[in-house]
Structure 1
């Protein structure tokens, strides 16, 4: 169903603007009462309030994150308008805003479509550098391209995470939570002055749990977690000086037994895949059917190894950021932001979830197994200088800056497979790809605004970006044949049928791209309660090269950059004496050369294509309402109309006219918090509920696999006695135990699926000091 045309989206927004004006004019006659909080954000590289920012942005404070138990970006996707999350593996995390997602782009030179910034430092590898959200001041989710100020590949939007800063007032907190699946979470922080001019802050989080799923073949948990994060900060604020500095150092380490892949019978009733058939047969043999949370992933026996390599994940990373600020009185503030990140990760997982060595003697011609090993070693350095005007009495305001980034990524992929069917012997054996890539990017940007009156302002900006990417990839057919096809001489696809065992190729690759992106915004604020903006903006994301190319020509070819043009009309207004707030944005985006990565079932490899173009139009709305002093409600909704235009991929599959992959046609969330008395303790209990709905979405550009719509219900009940320094809470996530998938790969009639977190619940004690 098509929800919106380009014209209708803007027409709805104009109607809402007219309604907002009427409501704003009635605000003076509204009854006084509780008011909504004013949230300060920095996504536009200067401090402004959420309601005065001419961008579509959602902001969640650290307190909100804790109340909703948002520990990761996957959790965040259930509470923020237009944001959704999918993942093949912990190293292949995919964020989607308004239909734009970085699907399976994890090669050494790949860029994200959704920019992630940690305290203004761009994080280039979401899978490795994605730590838990703990001791956070706020999270800002910016929707739509931001090609001038944020710039670095923010073609679909950005997640801006701001950690809590050191405080010269001593304080601290310790929290412990226990839950089902043997979860134990502890986190805390301590902050205070070290000298008259230096304050420090030390925060940590430890999270351990058993698995949501179970490996029947090896008798161990899957989707378990053992993680630890640590962050230390120093803030230097000399008294009477215009200079300030902050040093942030963080460390994260986590490990698990990996995740479970489960075969689900595909949509074609005439064809059932070999893996779902085998699951039924295994269930009959063991006398108990396999549940959706059980599987039999097989471990690879790599060439030269005496023992199998267990499935699992290990990830470790460090980061250092230095922020320097100097204020030139009433002229401008100069900011230097330096970031360094380094990390390693290793992951082994079985893509099909089971195979011919399943322990029950179930063998069929197509029942192959296909484990994959990935290792990464990443170093990233970024530097940004920014000069921001500080002349409030002037009609002019401006920002100028320069940006530099250098990444070095070494990645190894090891494919290993066994297949009983002789006709598919090209899926037998072992192949390696060793891929080392470098990215150097630099940019210069400028933005200027002019205020024609108290009500009307025009802002324009431009950014020049230059990307240079190069590297070397070695592909090697390590071993041909398997236990079923011992004499086969054709190497494991996708190197097949070019190279025999011991053969392969080594080749260099490289290219560079430059792009100028611009943005123009008109702002209109007729009074303190109403703010309207109209924006035309461009976005850019650099090109790159394949992770595991089939041959030297494919390795050298790569894929082109993608660009976008966006026109957006936004209305933000507070009414009923600042007790209610409604923000609406209508937009139309046109993408050129959209980068799309999908798994080819023929070679079991990933192929990245540049779709000719794609159109996206939609409307978003967010509402908050302080009903009484003790009751607050909120909600948000997104409706999208997406379409690939003239998209024929390299395999000849025509997806023209189809919906964009992994994009819900609609999303909404509603919630509320009620505070009431607990016996003699007045207003000591608070009950909080949040429900999020994700509409139906197609998994791939061919629109053959569908994730049905689903809804998630979360809740929390908190006791805070008057004048106490402690609180105790009972919490629950996915209370209805909704079953939904975060990944689907279609093989021979089956849908190999990864299922999301089931119902979790627990109790939490938090103490301030």
Structure 2
């Protein structure tokens, strides 16, 4: 056994042995101090004891250990130790029950799930997320732009389980609440700069200005860069897994009258990125050949009842590399690739007024938006080539003019306005929260999938399709033909694209909610709450398969198209009974509900609508401190039943005019079962040494769905949700006179999962180790303090496939409801994405 394998085994054994239950150990490893104490990025313990952790999950500041909700908290120090620059960096398992995955086409659109609530594709304007993302109390309507650089984060609260009462719709699995630091009114700040491999660098500026004329101003700026980790062999084109981020935020705090605080902030972010490279993992892995379906049980498309298979498996394009064991450092065939661009902006007004000791009024208003432009050629030659109808394979070679390399292009523009009014306070034995909420969103998108390369069989040269080129008889490349011409445009530039789909959606949501906790005794607490929500969603499909529905209404009617215009109403109740068994042991039982709004799939020609889904959750938990507050163990077990689960049937449909990614969203009948156990443990055996471990067990089962077109019962799966996930960390602080030498090491394990709703195919299990060494509190120039550190992510350069797509290794989708023959002409092989390689760097930060 090699040394690295031996160390991995020891770390995995340690993580498994320590992980007894569910929850965010990092939260407890790096506790958050009370708000007045959160000036430090490095919370410490008091006399060797674990510090209290303050959270705002109930819309008021409470001690985590006495809050009857399963919560994980990632503090600024925890994020720094793991070198977390964006939310995607949490994908390695910082919280076992929190799962983060990037959408294949771009790194900026993140799939975020908690407790098995993980939508496969929330990229569509009329589709919602299952986990709510909040920044300083403001809900983000889209998952686009979520991978932007993080500003001066005070903490990230991971609220697990339905949060439908206080946080509202689309929080079935929970909520991710990002809290940034507020202005202090005192001169303070820090400057951070770092370098890394792959040409990486990062920088951050935090500047708190003294209060002037009653105004406290805080400025934050950040830049982050990483060069591509997979080189594009086409000269002058961007490589893969590259990002270039920058952002700015300004916050002003004023106190116009006694008891009133008003915060006004503006932020602006820019993120240029390229997707992970999608490499061909195998070639015809299911052994597909023409013949009877019964003789080829592996070459079977779920949900079909084929009796025969017809056609011929595709030949590989010359130069193609088949590699399912290791991450490619260079592409096999160069393709045009430019960065996707995401621009985010927002203005938030947060006004709080302590009217009396019994009530605080809050008014939170926010205008936010994101503009996202996607350029994704990550599949290169590994997706199904699109062939001209007269084009054939001759003697096993691609014929002259074969087009390939699906360039996935998409634009999304979103603007939202939200307004929330809250009343929070205490009257006698009653703690209460009441509020009104309004949300208004407008989203539009379009998508195209032209091809970017063609093969010249005479010369054996792969060439690039001209931006506005079309393929005509004889496979001559000619340019300049606009969309709507007599032949299909193959170009990628605007005005040269064949539009696969374009849609526009307007959403409005109204809600009123209330929650009250009756502190019956010092030890017994009963909480009851409810939220009424009214959602109205209106949507139109402007284009489908390059047909302009606004003009060609006859074609739209033939395709069965109907605009979306629906209203849904829900009441989501919640009840919790909590008991303080002692000063150090707290138990609770909780019933909670949540719901995710319905919508329509813009990937379908008829704009197929789907209904909301609803969740009921039953949870019991325990939070405990022991060993004189040197150890902390939190446990939770839950049962969730989800009704009308929104599941996706995804397929690539090759046709004579283009490659179409057709995603149909339906509601699965019956009850989807989700069951889980979570635990986290924090131990500080001696002053300066903190050991943490976390574990999450998640069982999911969607009832089989009857596919009406084929009469076949099909199994569906919840994606990116490992049955078992665990992590562990070691933190040690060694005093050196006035300085501190800090060591951090964490290990994160996740069992393999499905990556698509409809395929049983699994990606790989993973075990990732991160580390950091830092020397802090170095005096420089008076009271200024310098911290220098070295960090590494994926210490052992572990390679695993986090997304495996089998759609290109199976027969094509049925062409009609009565089809009994499956075509294998476009079978090639599985393709997928490996995780990021090892990254490491040096960083220096000065506080002044």
TM-score where L is the length of structure 1: 0.84
Tell whether the 8 Å contact from 1:142 to 1:157 is kept in structure 2 after alignment: yes
Which residue in 1 is equivalent to 2:698? 640
Out of 735, 755, 762, the residue aligned to residue 699 of structure 1 is 755
Q: In the TM superposition, what is the alpha-carbon distance from 1:225 to its structure 2 partner?
A: 1.4
Q: Does 343-352 or 703-712 show the bigger shift?
A: 343-352
- CA deviation map 1:7-65 (0-9, x unaligned): xxxxx999xxxxxxxxxxxxxxxxx9511121211121111111111111101111221
Which residue in 2 is equivalent to 1:378? 414
Query: Structure 1 residue 452 and structure 2 residue 520: aligned?
Result: yes
Which residue in 1 is equivalent to 2:506? 438
Query: Structure 1 residue 673 and structure 2 residue 731: aligned?
Result: yes
Query: Structure 1 residue 328 and structure 2 residue 355: aligned?
Result: yes
Q: Aligned ranges for residues 117-196 of structure 1 at < 5 Å?
A: 117-195=134-212
Query: Structure 1 residue 395 and structure 2 residue 395: aligned?
Result: no
Change (3 A) 1:565 1:257: closer
Distance 1:369 1:112 in 2: 30
Q: Aligned ranges for residues 501-516 of structure 1 at < 5 Å?
A: 508-516=563-571
Tell whether the 8 Å contact from 1:177 to 1:184 is kept in structure 2 after alignment: yes
Change (3 A) 1:416 1:13: closer
Distance 2:133 2:447 in 1: 25
Tell whether the 8 Å contact from 1:108 to 1:409 is kept in structure 2 after alignment: yes
Which residue in 1 is equivalent to 2:535? 467
Q: In the TM superposition, what is the alpha-carbon distance from 1:367 to its structure 2 partner?
A: 8.6
Unaligned runs of 5+ in 2: 1-19, 23-45, 290-298, 300-311, 388-393, 456-470, 472-486, 491-497, 549-553, 654-659, 810-828
Q: In the TM superposition, what is the alpha-carbon distance from 1:327 to its structure 2 partner?
A: 1.1
Tell whether the 8 Å contact from 2:169 to 2:597 is kept in structure 1 after alignment: no
Query: Structure 1 residue 764 and structure 2 residue 843: aligned?
Result: yes
Query: Structure 1 residue 711 and structure 2 residue 767: aligned?
Result: yes
Change (3 A) 1:46 1:312: same
Which residue in 1 is equivalent to 2:585? 530
Distance 2:397 2:233 in 1: 17
Query: Structure 1 residue 631 and structure 2 residue 685: aligned?
Result: no
* SS of match in other structure, 2:381: coil
Q: Aligned ranges for residues 612-627 of structure 1 at < 5 Å?
A: 612=669, 613-627=671-685
Q: Does 268-277 or 704-713 show the bigger shift?
A: 268-277
Tell whether the 8 Å contact from 1:400 to 1:447 is kept in structure 2 after alignment: yes
Which residue in 2 is equivalent to 1:295? 331
Q: In the TM superposition, what is the alpha-carbon distance from 1:364 to its structure 2 partner?
A: 4.6
Tell whether the 8 Å contact from 1:475 to 1:504 is kept in structure 2 after alignment: no
Out of 53, 72, 76, the residue aligned to residue 39 of structure 1 is 53
Out of 367, 370, 379, the residue aligned to residue 352 of structure 1 is 379
Change (3 A) 1:85 1:396: same
Q: In the TM superposition, what is the alpha-carbon distance from 1:191 to its structure 2 partner?
A: 0.3
Distance 1:91 1:654 in 2: 37
Distance 2:21 2:767 in 1: 27
Out of 435, 446, 450, the residue aligned to residue 416 of structure 1 is 450
- CA deviation map 1:235-273 (0-9, x unaligned): 11357x011100111000121344422121279453599
Distance 2:163 2:348 in 1: 23
Distance 1:342 1:44 in 2: 27
Which residue in 2 is equivalent to 1:605? 662
* SS of match in other structure, 2:145: helix
Change (3 A) 1:129 1:682: closer
Tell whether the 8 Å contact from 2:315 to 2:398 is kept in structure 1 after alignment: no
Out of 519, 526, 538, the residue aligned to residue 574 of structure 2 is 519
TM-score where L is the length of structure 2: 0.77
Which residue in 1 is equivalent to 2:28? none
Q: Does 408-417 or 701-710 show the bigger shift?
A: 701-710
- CA deviation map 1:104-153 (0-9, x unaligned): 12221221101000000000112235422231111000111111001131
Which residue in 1 is equivalent to 2:39? none
Tell whether the 8 Å contact from 1:690 to 1:715 is kept in structure 2 after alignment: yes
Query: Structure 1 residue 755 and structure 2 residue 834: aligned?
Result: yes
- CA deviation map 1:679-737 (0-9, x unaligned): xx476321110000011112223443111211000000111256551011010000111
- CA deviation map 1:273-298 (0-9, x unaligned): 999973784459xxxx9962332577
Alignment root-mean-square deviation, CA:
3.3
Tell whether the 8 Å contact from 1:13 to 1:569 is kept in structure 2 after alignment: no
Which residue in 2 is equivalent to 1:81? 96
Out of 98, 113, 116, the residue aligned to residue 96 of structure 1 is 113
Q: Does 83-92 or 752-761 show the bigger shift?
A: 83-92
Q: In the TM superposition, what is the alpha-carbon distance from 1:234 to its structure 2 partner?
A: 0.6
- CA deviation map 1:345-397 (0-9, x unaligned): 11121363226699xx9955999532221101111000110111234xx1122
Which residue in 2 is equivalent to 1:484? none
Distance 1:759 1:332 in 2: 51
* SS of match in other structure, 1:697: coil
- CA deviation map 1:52-97 (0-9, x unaligned): 1111110111122112211122222421130111222235310121
* SS of match in other structure, 2:346: strand
Change (3 A) 1:546 1:185: same
Which residue in 2 is equivalent to 1:232? 250
Which residue in 1 is equivalent to 2:405? 369
Change (3 A) 1:654 1:713: farther
Query: Structure 1 residue 569 and structure 2 residue 620: aligned?
Result: yes
Out of 225, 229, 234, the residue aligned to residue 217 of structure 1 is 234
Out of 725, 734, 739, the residue aligned to residue 794 of structure 2 is 734
Distance 2:96 2:757 in 1: 23
Out of 59, 65, 70, the residue aligned to residue 56 of structure 1 is 70
* SS of match in other structure, 1:214: coil
Which residue in 1 is equivalent to 2:719? 661
Tell whether the 8 Å contact from 1:85 to 1:742 is kept in structure 2 after alignment: no
Q: In the TM superposition, what is the alpha-carbon distance from 1:326 to its structure 2 partner?
A: 0.9
Tell whether the 8 Å contact from 1:263 to 1:275 is kept in structure 2 after alignment: no
Q: Aligned ranges for residues 273-292 of structure 1 at < 5 Å?
A: 278=316, 281-282=319-320, 292=328
* SS of match in other structure, 1:247: strand
Distance 1:69 1:276 in 2: 44
Q: Does 125-134 or 507-516 show the bigger shift?
A: 125-134
Q: In the TM superposition, what is the alpha-carbon distance from 1:201 to its structure 2 partner?
A: 0.6
* SS of match in other structure, 1:193: coil
Unaligned runs of 5+ in 1: 1-11, 15-31, 300-308, 480-490, 492-497
Tell whether the 8 Å contact from 1:298 to 1:354 is kept in structure 2 after alignment: no
Change (3 A) 1:390 1:415: same
Change (3 A) 1:160 1:734: same
Tell whether the 8 Å contact from 1:590 to 1:615 is kept in structure 2 after alignment: yes
Number of matched pairs: 696
